[in-house]
Structure 1
Amino acid sequence: MARRKSADLLFLVCFLAGVLSVVHFIFTFRVIPRTEHVHRDHCIDIKEFEKVSLGPVDKTLNTSDQAVSSSAAGFVYPASKFFTVWHEDSAPRVNSKLRGKKKIVVWGDEEEWDETIPSPCRPDVPPCDITLDIGQSEDADAVVFYYSRTPNVFNSSSMPKRYPHQHWIFFSDEAPLYPAMRDHDFVSYNGVFNMTMTYRLDSDVPALYGSTDIVYNKLKGKDRRHSKELDYSVGKKGLAVWFVSNCYKYLPRFAYARELLKHMDLDIFGKCGKEIACPGKGYDCSDNIIKQYKFYLAFESYHCREYITEKFWRNALENEAVPIVLGPPKCDYERIAPPNSFIHVDDFESPKDLAAYLKRLDKDTELYNQYFRWRASPKPTESISSDYGSAWCRLCKKLYDMDTTERKVYTDIDRWLKGKSYDQCKPIVLLDYNDPRNNVHFVNNFTSL
């Protein structure tokens, strides 16, 4: 009898263990994929992730085991396998003299950065000293390295001396496929940087090209945009316009544009089309032209997740032209753009279908103006308010808000940039950009403005 009871007990234990294994497998199957890097053809659903605080731990923590909150964006992203976070005692400063401000040293060219760094920040941001004087790096709380100012292969002799209390920050506004980015061996930089500062929302310090909040703030006080009866087609003589100067013919946008030209009027300016003489940076000149068109081709050079540049924000939205977008998936735009403010090429079977829709909007004033209704009622949104200028203020605030015991290092910044399976961007043909045989030039009849 005792043996039978023992056998029954053993069977029950094995049965329960089997049930737990099945439950664990199901849970793992359902939850773990959501913590992996999302494939470029799918979007991160912010609502799927709960805000989780990162509690103190005694030893190195691989963050692939849990979700990590993003204080900058206000929500969490899937846990990353590309960096490690741990806690340890605060490192003392090299210079023990107390300062009332955090100090940020930008490792770069003074002429290049002069117009980028704001001073001072907003009133709600504690004060920071942001300097281009690399001689002050010893006492800096953070050192920001713009990617193009770092060696293609990591070389400690070309970098400043590192101090335990500092945060080293990788900064880039370019996509991984950009030639100068491709020249870098980022594998050699694994274990070097503590933070990232890029156009991506999952950066430690997002530095977007624009945001809905910034657009809305610019609309405040402009009474004409608060009238729902305003007709935005008035004064626009042309259908669609495109300013483009990167003429490398293997960029996917050129094949689409060639096909689009077969079915609609499209005026192309810049090095790849009709060159115009514009003083300085040429914004005033190009702005005056864009404002005379109903649509602007905000075609990105590279199809990389979240890579949405000034083509969308400055060239199109600020000039009251509806952006026709080609680049990252539609949901990336929807996450940060004003509602119903753009047209994505992915919504159409072909360039011919897109052209037919644009010509329909050209004739239907009421339908066309639907793309401007968001301007009538600017309101606060949940989108992150960050551009190049405010990103520096965001970094400053982050330095004050951080747990002084927290340490973080990117153990695989190469794949953080390019994707776990190197799928952050759609691949393109990579040849010599400087070879004139690899450039394209459009010659077509232009609208008489």
Structure 2
Amino acid sequence: MNAEFEFVSVILGSIYLNITKTFFDTLNTKENHRPKILIWSKPYRKIEWYLPDLPGENGGCDITVNRSEYERSEAVLFFMKSCVSNDLPDPTKRSPNQAFVWWAHESPWTVLHYYHYELKDFNNYFNWTMTYRRDSDVLASFAPTPSLDYFLYKFGRQNEMTEAELLERPTMSEDRFREEIGLLMSKKTKMISWVVSDCKVVAGAAKRMQLVEEMTKDGLLDVDRYGKCANRPIANDVNVLLETIKKYKFYLSFENSLHCRDYITEKTFYNAIVGGIVPVINGPTREDVSAILPKRSFIHLEDFENLNKLAEYLKYLDSNDTAYLEYFNWWKEPGTHIIPRYGFNFGPQHENSNSSNWFQFWKAEDVIQRGMMEFEWKRFGLYHLCRKLRNKEHITTSKVVADLNQWWYGTESEECIR
């Protein structure tokens, strides 16, 4: 009886796979078909999951959290925080034209020591990884979504860009540059700001609190602090945040993990780069930051032998506008027009760009002002995933992540993991 049951199971499984494959083959031959992304393991926050069509893409993807859509989904997305081995679909019953994707936006230290996730149960299960790291199958940077092509270029993935001409021209003329710099500097009345709401939840958060205490000890530097740790909370609205900190020249972009590969978060991309502030960065290595951010757009803590030297340099820049403004010369670099600067509503659209399309797509009243700022950080990866599905890479390429634990943890530095 057991042998008969096993035989019948194999036959039924084969029929299931053939029917599912036929379904996907039919879908993918239709013009204007919108691939479907099923978020199987939902993030911890309630978010209205949808993707407006990306400018220039001639379509988009649909997102669902309804597991009954499993058989009709080209990609199944498993969010790190809620992905557990006893709550996964049977991989033997999935279509060969379906990608299982592991998704993480926290650092490996946080995944391992705070959430206590070892990943040894997931060998040979996922097809793609989706994280902020450059070696991910799907790039899910914390950068603003309109800059997707720019960062694909920076990450050496030009074959995945749709705006290949992005780097063929400077962003703006010298006259326009001076005009925008004038607008930027007209807002600068203070020196250093820092927004932080995790004071000690993870070990790295406690260490950065200690670091800032040392930076401000005996009046070495004056840092205006915002957020829960300073008892000066800011609404979960990126426009309110940028309006609050735009008057500062420097922003402390201190991560809660040290030397984790490519771990550069919204602290740098939004609070500083988008906000028109020079980030002072600590956490990722200088090499990683240099490879990812526009050239000379940041100051790295590790460039200074001690905090006194850092303070001396920041005070010098504060007193010398010519030297300070050299940190904004990247605005003129080819391709950077796609990175919004000094806020969503603070400044003109830029010449030689498709900003009219982008700003219509990326309008502030979309999901961000409704207290869903975090969604924008996730949307970058969802759009890159959507591109890969629309390009049928889930069909034309075959891959499995053989050892997720080794890929995620084994390739990291000791400073990151310990």
SS in 2 for 1:426: helix
CA distance in 1: counterparts of 2:238 and 2:339, whole angstroms: 26
Q: 2:138·2:384 contact (CA, 8 Å) conserved in 1?
A: yes
CA distance in 2: counterparts of 1:387 and 1:111, whole angstroms: 14
Q: Does residue 337 in structure 1 map to residue 293 in structure 2?
A: yes
Q: Return the offset for 1:172.
A: 1.0
Q: Does residue 426 in structure 1 map to residue 416 in structure 2?
A: yes
Q: 1:227 aligns with which of 175, 178, 181?
A: 178
CA distance in 1: counterparts of 2:294 and 2:99, whole angstroms: 34
Q: Return the offset for 1:188.
A: 1.4
Q: 1:95·1:139 contact (CA, 8 Å) conserved in 2?
A: no
The C-alpha deviation readout for 1:358-381, integer Å capped at 9, x for no partner, is: 001111111111111222x25227
When residues 425 and 200 of structure 1 are mapped into structure 2, their CA distance, relative to the original with a 3 A threshold, is farther
Report the counterpart of residue 435 of structure 1 in structure 2. Answer: none
SS in 2 for 1:177: helix
Q: 1:258 aligns with which of 210, 213, 220?
A: 213
Q: Return the offset for 1:313.
A: 0.8
CA distance in 1: counterparts of 2:68 and 2:53, whole angstroms: 22
CA distance in 1: counterparts of 2:186 and 2:145, whole angstroms: 25
Amino acid at match of 2:178: S
When residues 222 and 186 of structure 1 are mapped into structure 2, their CA distance, relative to the original with a 3 A threshold, is farther
Q: Return the offset for 1:321.
A: 1.1
When residues 294 and 184 of structure 1 are mapped into structure 2, their CA distance, relative to the original with a 3 A threshold, is same
When residues 179 and 388 of structure 1 are mapped into structure 2, their CA distance, relative to the original with a 3 A threshold, is closer
Q: 1:145 aligns with which of 78, 81, 88?
A: 78
Q: Return the offset for 1:427.
A: 4.2
SS in 2 for 1:417: helix
SS in 1 for 2:192: strand
Q: 1:205 aligns with which of 138, 143, 160?
A: 138
Amino acid at match of 1:266: V
Aligned-residue CA RMSD in angstroms?
Answer: 3.5
CA distance in 1: counterparts of 2:145 and 2:315, whole angstroms: 27
Report the counterpart of residue 317 of structure 2 in structure 1. Answer: 361
Structure 1: segments with no counterpart, 5+ residues: 1-90, 429-449
SS in 1 for 2:228: coil
CA distance in 1: counterparts of 2:203 and 2:73, whole angstroms: 43
The C-alpha deviation readout for 1:319-365, integer Å capped at 9, x for no partner, is: 21110001111121122212211100111001111011000111111
249-258 vs 239-248, which moves further: 249-258
Report the counterpart of residue 96 of structure 1 in structure 2. Answer: 22
Q: 1:159 aligns with which of 75, 79, 88?
A: 88
Amino acid at match of 2:110: Y
Q: 1:244·1:271 contact (CA, 8 Å) conserved in 2?
A: yes
CA distance in 1: counterparts of 2:400 and 2:393, whole angstroms: 15
Report the counterpart of residue 271 of structure 1 in structure 2. Answer: 228
When residues 414 and 161 of structure 1 are mapped into structure 2, their CA distance, relative to the original with a 3 A threshold, is same
The correspondence of residues 165-244 of structure 1 with structure 2, limited to 5 A, is: 165=96, 166-178=98-110, 182-210=115-143, 214=147, 226-227=177-178, 230-231=181-182, 232-244=184-196
Number of residue pairs matched by the alignment: 329
Report the counterpart of residue 37 of structure 1 in structure 2. Answer: none
Amino acid at match of 2:230: G
Amino acid at match of 2:104: S
118-127 vs 301-310, which moves further: 118-127
Q: 2:132·2:263 contact (CA, 8 Å) conserved in 1?
A: yes
Report the counterpart of residue 158 of structure 2 in structure 1. Answer: none
Percent identity between the two aligned chains: 31
Q: Return the offset for 1:115.
A: 4.5
The C-alpha deviation readout for 1:216-261, integer Å capped at 9, x for no partner, is: 89x9899996227835444422210110111118423233212211
When residues 425 and 416 of structure 1 are mapped into structure 2, their CA distance, relative to the original with a 3 A threshold, is farther
CA distance in 1: counterparts of 2:133 and 2:314, whole angstroms: 30
CA distance in 2: counterparts of 1:415 and 1:340, whole angstroms: 33
CA distance in 2: counterparts of 1:374 and 1:408, whole angstroms: 37
When residues 284 and 104 of structure 1 are mapped into structure 2, their CA distance, relative to the original with a 3 A threshold, is closer
CA distance in 2: counterparts of 1:93 and 1:342, whole angstroms: 54
Q: Does residue 326 in structure 1 map to residue 262 in structure 2?
A: no
326-335 vs 340-349, which moves further: 326-335
When residues 192 and 213 of structure 1 are mapped into structure 2, their CA distance, relative to the original with a 3 A threshold, is same
CA distance in 2: counterparts of 1:256 and 1:285, whole angstroms: 27
Q: TM-score, normalised by structure 2?
A: 0.69
Q: 1:302 aligns with which of 257, 263, 267?
A: 257
Report the counterpart of residue 242 of structure 2 in structure 1. Answer: 287
Q: Return the offset for 1:289.
A: 2.2
CA distance in 2: counterparts of 1:272 and 1:144, whole angstroms: 33
Amino acid at match of 2:229: C
When residues 125 and 92 of structure 1 are mapped into structure 2, their CA distance, relative to the original with a 3 A threshold, is farther
Q: Return the offset for 1:135.
A: 0.7
Amino acid at match of 2:386: C
Q: 2:409·2:417 contact (CA, 8 Å) conserved in 1?
A: no
CA distance in 2: counterparts of 1:115 and 1:208, whole angstroms: 20
Report the counterpart of residue 343 of structure 2 in structure 1. Answer: none
SS in 2 for 1:295: strand
Report the counterpart of residue 415 of structure 1 in structure 2. Answer: 406
Q: Return the offset for 1:414.
A: 0.9
The C-alpha deviation readout for 1:179-222, integer Å capped at 9, x for no partner, is: 576421211122221110001111000110116972989x9899
Amino acid at match of 1:246: D
Q: 1:169·1:193 contact (CA, 8 Å) conserved in 2?
A: yes
Q: 2:145·2:380 contact (CA, 8 Å) conserved in 1?
A: no
Report the counterpart of residue 61 of structure 1 in structure 2. Answer: none
Q: 1:105·1:136 contact (CA, 8 Å) conserved in 2?
A: yes
Structure 2: segments with no counterpart, 5+ residues: 1-16, 151-165, 341-375
SS in 1 for 2:194: strand
CA distance in 2: counterparts of 1:203 and 1:179, whole angstroms: 16
